[in-house]
Chains A and B, each alone.
Chain A
Amino acid sequence: MYLSVLDSRQSLFCSSVSFEQIGILHKRFKQLSHNEDTLRRDDLNTIPDLSCNPIRTQIIEAFFDKRNFHQNGEGTVQEISFEEFLVVMSHFRPPALDMTEEQREIIRREKLRFLFNMHDTDNDGTITLEEYRHVVEELLSRSGALGKETAKGIADAAMLEVASISMGHMEPDEFYEGITFEHFLKILKDIEIETRMNIRFLNMDTTNLCK
C-alpha cells in the first residue's frame, strides 16, 4: 500500500531521498504508531530521547500543524498519516548540488516558513512579543536557573532588533505589532538556512536501535 504513497511523494523529495530511505522512514512510522496507520501526539511524547529537548512541545506540535501539510489548511489535527508525516519531513531535505538560485530560494522560504509556524502558535500571521518570549523561555529552560526576567529581557532586545532592521527609524508613538513573515525572512537572510537545517537520511535501518 505504501508504494502508491511513495510514488506521489517521491517528487516532493526530488532526488535527495531514495526509495530505501522512505522505506526506513515508514518502518519507523510503524514503530512509533505501534503498527497503526496514524500517529498521535502521545506516541511522540513517549520517545525518551526527545524528553530532554527544550523545545520538545513545539517540535511535536509542528508535526500536527496543518500549515505544514502544504495544503493551505489551518489549525491542528489529532492524528497524522504517513503521507503527512513525509510532508513534514520534507521540510528538512538538503538542496541538491545542481539547483539554481531560484530553487534554493524556494527551499529557503519553505524552511523559514516551518520555523515561523513554530513561533506563531495562534495562526494570525505575525509573531507577537508574547509568542517570542515563550520561545526564548523554552530555549533557555534547560540551561541553568535563569529567571523569567532574563528571558523577557532577551526577547525584548530581539524584537527591538527586528523592529530596527525592518522598519528603520520609528516615531516614538509608533507601535511594532509583530514580526510578519517578510520581516522574518529579512532578519534571517544571512543564516544560510538551506545548508544548516538539513537531515541526512540514512540507508541504514536504525529502527532496531531506537526506542
Chain B
Amino acid sequence: KGHTQLRLSQMKLAVNFLTIGLVILSLPCGSYTEIPPKPPGSVTVLPPVKPAGGPQAFPDAENSNLPVFTMDYARIQVPFEVTLWVLLASFAKIGFHVYHKITFWVPESCLLISIGLIVGAIMHSVHEEPPAVLSYNVFFLFMLPPIVLESGYFMPTRPFFENVGTVLWFAVVGTLWNSIGIGMSLYAVCQIEAFEVQDINLQENMLFAAIISAVDPVAVLSVFEDVSVNEQLYIVVFGECLFNDAVTVVLYNMFIFVADMPVVEPVDVFLGVARFFVVGLGGMGFGVIFGFVASFTTRFTSNVREIEPLFIFMYSYLAYLVAELFSISSIMAIVTCALTMKYYVEENVSQRSCTTIRHVVKMLGTISETLIFFFLGVVTITTEHEWNWGYIMFTLLLALVWRGLGVLVLTQIINPFRTIPFNFKDQFILGYGGLRGAISFALVFTLPDSIGRKKLFLTTTICMIMFTVFIQGISIRPLIEFINVRRTNRNLETINVEIHSRLIEHTIAGVEDLCGQWSHYYWKDKFLKFNNRILRKILIRDNRAESSIVALYKKLELQNAMEILDTVSGDINAGSSIVSLQYVYPLSPSSSCSLSLSLYFALSLILLLSLSLACSPSLSLSLVLSLTLSCSLFCSLFCSLSLSLSLSLSVFVH
C-alpha cells in the first residue's frame, strides 16, 4: 500500500508539470487575442508582433529584423481547444477515482455534470460561448457513435438472444406507451389556465413527449454497469435503451412533420406505422449486412495486421452513417453491426489486434460519455431558459407515473411468455432505472424555431435529465440493496462452470428434441448448425471450430502462466507481504485522500481558468485571472511536493 501511495504522488507530480506546461502555453494566448482588430484610419501603436493570419509582409513603416520567436494561435485554435477540453474532462475523471468511496455512491455521470456546471458558470461570467458540442451534427455524428459501438460490442450475446422478445417488447411498446401517455396528459395539463401554456398545441406536446420518453443509453449504462443486478433485468434495461431508438426516430420525424400541419389525417398514422417497420428492420438489416462484410474483409487481412482494427471502426461507422443517410435508426444499425461482427472478427484477427480493438472501443466510448456529461453541465448554465413551474413539475411527475404504469402493465402481459418471470422488485428497478440523458437534450436543442415555446422545452428537458440522473442515479444503488433484488454473481469463469453450462444447454436441447417441446434452445441449436455449416466457412479464415470450453481453458492457462511470471519477477511471497506492508504506511488514508482530492479539483480549476483565459478579450481580466491561476498553481505544487516528501520520509523512517 505504501508503494502505491508513492507511485500516486509521483504521478501527481508528473501531472503537475504537465499542467504547468499547458498553462504556460495558454497564457500568451490570452494576452495575444486581446489585441483588437484596428479600425481603418487610426494610428497604429502596435508593438512589433506578427498579426494573425499567418505570414504577411510587414508594413514598410516598420523596419524590423528577422523575428526569433513568432506565434500563430488562430491556426491551431480549434484542435487546441478540443484537446484542452478533452484533457480537462479526463482530469476530472482521474480526480474522482482518487477517492474510491465517491464513485461508489455517486455515479460518475453526476460528478461530471457538476464539474460541467462549475465550468459553465465561469464561462457564463466571462460572457463566452461554449463550443457547440451538443448541436445536432456534432453530437449525432461524432459523440454518440463511440458510446453505442461500445455498448453493442460488449453486449453479452447469450442473455440478449434469450431475452430478445422481452427487450423488443419493452423498447417498442414501452416507448410508444410513454410517448402517447405523456403527450396526452401534458396536453390536458396545458389546458389549465393557471400555467399560461395554452399556446402549446397537441402536436407540439406529442413531439416533446416523444423526445423525453426515450430512455437514454448513455445515462443508463453509466449507472447500471457498476451495479450488479440479475442477468435478465440487466439485459432488458440494457437492450431497451438501445433499441428504443427506432421508435424515437419515427415519432420525432412524424411529429416534426405534423407540427406544421393543422390537421392530422389517419393516413399519416398508418404511414407512421409503416415507417416504423422500415426504420427498425432497415436499421437491423444494414447492421447485419455491414457486419458480414466486415467479417468477410478480415478474412483476408492476415498480411496487414497493423491496420486490422481499422476495419472494425470504419465498417461500424459506415453502418451508422449510411443509416443516418436514409434516416433510419442508426443506433440499431451500429449495435447490430457490432453484435454480428464481433464473433467472426475475433476469430480472424490476431490476438494483438483483438486486444487493440477492445481497448480502443472502450476508450472512445468512455471519452465520449465523459464529454457528453461534461457538456451537459456546461450548456445548462449557458443556454437561455424559460421557467414555468406548472409545466415542469407536471412533466416530471407524469414521466414517472407513466413509466411506472407502463412497466407494470407490460410486464403483466409478457410474464407468461417468459421462463423466468419478473417479480415486483425487478419491475420496480426496471421502472426506476429509466434515466433520460443527452440524446433528449440534443433533440430538443435542434427543434426548429417555428416551435414557439422552444426555451420552455429546453428547460424542462434539462430539469428532467438532472432529476433522473442525480436523484434516480444516486439512489438506485442503495435502493437495490434495500429491496434486495436478485443479484448475479458475474465472476463465472471457471472451467467447471463452463463445462456444465454447455452440458446443460445440450441436455435441454436434447430433451426438447425428445419430447417435441421447442423453445429458444431449439432455434439456437438450429442457428448454430447453420452457422457451423455455412457461415463459418465463408467468413472465417481457417475454420477450426473451437468449443467455448477449449477457448476458456486456453485463456485460463494463459492467465495462470502470466500470474506465475508476475510473482516470480516481483520476488514477493504473496501471503506475508500484504500483512507487513499494512504497518509501513503512516499517513492516514482519509486525510491523504482528501488532500489528493482537493489537489485534483485545484488542477481542474487551473485548466478551466486557462481555457477561459484563451478566450477572454479584455486585458485586465486576463491579468487578474493569470495571477489567480499562478497562485493556485503554486499552492497545489507546494501541496503535492509536501505530500510526496512526507510520504517518502515516512517510508524511510519505517
Using a CB–CB cutoff of 8 Å, the interface residues on chain A facing chain B are: 24-25, 28, 32, 44, 47, 49-50, 52-56, 58-59, 63, 89, 92, 94, 97, 115, 118, 135-136, 139-140, 143-144, 146, 150, 153-154, 157-158, 161-162, 187-188, 190-193, 195-202, 206-207, 209-210
Task: Report Cα–Cα, A157/B507, bound state, in Å.
Answer: 23
CB of B72 closer than 8 Å to a CB of A? no
- Select one of B423, B510, B545 contacting A143, CB under 8 A: B545
Q: Is the CB of B423 within 8 A of A187?
A: no
**B553 in the interface (beta carbon within 8 A):** yes
* Distance in angstroms between the alpha carbons of A49 and B557 in the assembled complex: 35
B494 touching A187, Cβ below 8 Å: yes
A-B contact pairs, 13 of them (CB 8 A): A28-B515, A55-B507, A143-B547, A144-B546, A146-B547, A154-B553, A157-B553, A188-B496, A192-B488, A197-B508, A206-B518, A209-B516, A210-B516
Min CB distance B228 to A, Å, is 12
Give the Cβ gap from A171 to chain B, nearest Cβ, in Å: 18
Tell me which residues across on chain A come within 8 A of B516, comparing CB atoms.
24, 28, 206-207, 209-210
What's the Cα separation between A138 and B649 when bound, in Å? Answer: 63
- Chain A nearest CB from B226 CB (Å) reads 20
A115-B503, A135-B503 known; A188+B517 contact, CB < 8 A: no
Asked whether B550 lies within 8 Å of A188 as measured between CB atoms, the reply is: no
A139 touches B515 (CB 8 A): no
- B499 part of interface (Cβ distance < 8 Å): yes
Shortest beta-carbon distance, A39 to chain B, in Å? 10
A199, B553: Cβ atoms closer than 8 Å: no
Q: Is the CB of B506 within 8 A of A97?
A: no
CB of B577 to closest CB in A, whole Å: 19
Query: Which residues of chain A come closer than 8 Å to B502, judged between CB atoms?
Result: 139
Interface membership of B157, Cβ < 8 A:
no
| A195 to B545 alpha-carbon distance, docked (Å) | 29
Which of A135, A199, A207, A209 meets B508, CB within 8 Å? A199
At the interface, is chain B mostly helix, strand, loop or mixed? Answer: helix
Instruction: From B501, B504, B509, B553, give the contact of A53 (CB < 8 A).
Output: B509
Q: Closest A-chain residue to B556, C-beta based? A: A157
Q: Mark B452-486, 1 if CB is under 8 A from A, else 0.
A: 00000000000000000000000000000000000
Query: Beyond A140-B550, A190-B489, is A44–B496 a contact (Cβ under 8 Å)?
Result: no
Question: Chain B residues with Cβ under 8 A from A198's Cβ?
Answer: 419, 508
Closest CB in chain A relative to B8 CB, distance in Å? 34
Cα–Cα distance between A192 and B489 once the two chains are bound (Å): 9
Q: Are A199 and B511 touching (Cβ within 8 A)?
A: yes
**Inter-chain contact B517/A206, CB cutoff 8 Å:** yes
Chain A residues whose C-beta falls within 8 Å of the C-beta of B546 in the assembled complex:
143-144
**Shortest Cβ distance from residue B192 to the other chain A in the assembled complex, whole angstroms:** 42
Q: Are B504 and A59 in touch, CB under 8 angstroms?
A: no
Question: Is A115 touching B500 in the complex (CB atoms < 8 A)?
Answer: yes
Contact A97 B553 (CB under 8 A): no
Residues of B within 8 A of A135 (CB): 499, 503
Chain A, residue nearest B548 (CB): A143
Interface pair B550/A59, CB less than 8 Å apart: no
Residues of B within 8 A of A199 (CB): 508, 511-512, 515, 517, 519
**Which residues of chain B (552-570) have a CB below 8 Å from chain A?**
553, 556-557
- By a CB distance below 8 angstroms, the chain B residues around A192 are 488
Contact of A146 among B496, B506, B550 (CB under 8 A): B550
> Which of these, B496, B517, B544, B547, contacts A200 with CB under 8 Å?
B517
B514 at the interface (CB under 8 A from A): yes
B306 at the interface (CB under 8 A from A): no
If A143-B545, A161-B494, A162-B496 touch, whether A200 touches B514 (CB-CB below 8 Å) is no
Report how far A157 CA is from B554 CA in the complex, Å.
11
A46–B650 CA distance with the chains assembled, in angstroms: 78
The answer, yes or no, to whether B529 is at the interface (CB within 8 Å) is: yes
Contact assessment for B510 and A53 in the assembled complex, using a CB-CB cutoff below 8 Å = yes
A143's closest neighbor in chain B, by CB? B547
Residues of chain B lying within 8 A (CB to CB) of residue A92: 508, 511
- The smallest beta-carbon distance between A138 and chain B, in angstroms, is 9
Q: How far is the CB of A189 from chain B (nearest CB, A)?
A: 9
Which residues of the partner chain A approach B121 to less than 8 Å between Cβ atoms? Answer: none
- Whether B501 contacts A118 by the Cβ 8 Å rule is no
Known: A162-B496, A191-B492. A97 touches B421 (CB 8 A): yes
CA of A197 to CA of B511, assembled, Å: 11
Query: Which B residues touch A197, using CB under 8 A?
Result: 504, 507-508
Contact partner of B419 (CB less than 8 A), chosen from A47, A158, A195, is A195
Let me know if A144 and B547 touch, CB within 8 A. yes
| B497 at interface, CB cutoff 8 A | yes
CA distance A157 to B550 in the complex (A): 11
Contact, CB under 8 Å: A191 / B517: no
Question: Is B398 in the interface zone, CB < 8 Å from A?
Answer: no
User: B residues within 8 A CB of A118?
Assistant: 503, 507
Q: Are B497 and A150 in contact (CB-based, < 8 A)?
A: no
A191 to B500 alpha-carbon distance, docked (Å): 9
The 8 closest A-B pairs by CB, nearest first: A49-B513, A143-B547, A210-B516, A59-B510, A144-B545, A53-B510, A206-B516, A158-B495
Report chain B residues within 8 Å CB of A196.
501, 504
State whether the Cβ of B549 lies closer than 8 Å to any Cβ in chain A. yes
Task: Give every chain A residue within 8 A of B550 (Cβ-Cβ).
Answer: 140, 143, 146, 150, 154
Please state if B495 and A200 are interface contacts (CB–CB under 8 Å). no
CB distance from A199 to the nearest CB of B (A): 6
B474 to chain A, nearest CB (A): 29
Distance between B427 CB and nearest chain A CB, rounded to angstroms = 12
- B544 contact set on A, CB distance < 8 A: 144
Interface: B420 (CB within 8 A): yes
18 new A-B contacts, CB < 8 A, other than A28-B516, A53-B509, are A24-B516, A25-B515, A94-B420, A115-B504, A139-B506, A139-B549, A144-B546, A157-B553, A188-B497, A190-B492, A191-B492, A195-B419, A195-B420, A198-B419, A199-B508, A199-B511, A200-B519, A202-B519
CA distance A154 to B555 in the complex (A): 12
Question: Which of chain B's residues has its CB closest to A136's CB?
Answer: B499
Q: Does B504 contact A202, Cβ atoms closer than 8 Å? A: no
Q: Which residues of A contact B517 (CB under 8 A)?
A: 199-202, 206
- Say whether A59 contacts B501, CB under 8 Å: no
Shortest Cβ distance from residue B636 to the other chain A in the assembled complex, whole angstroms: 46
Q: How far is the CA of A135 from the CA of B503 in the complex (A)?
A: 9
Interface contact A59-B514, CB-CB below 8 Å: yes
Which residue from chain B places its CB closest to the CB of A189 in the assembled complex? B489
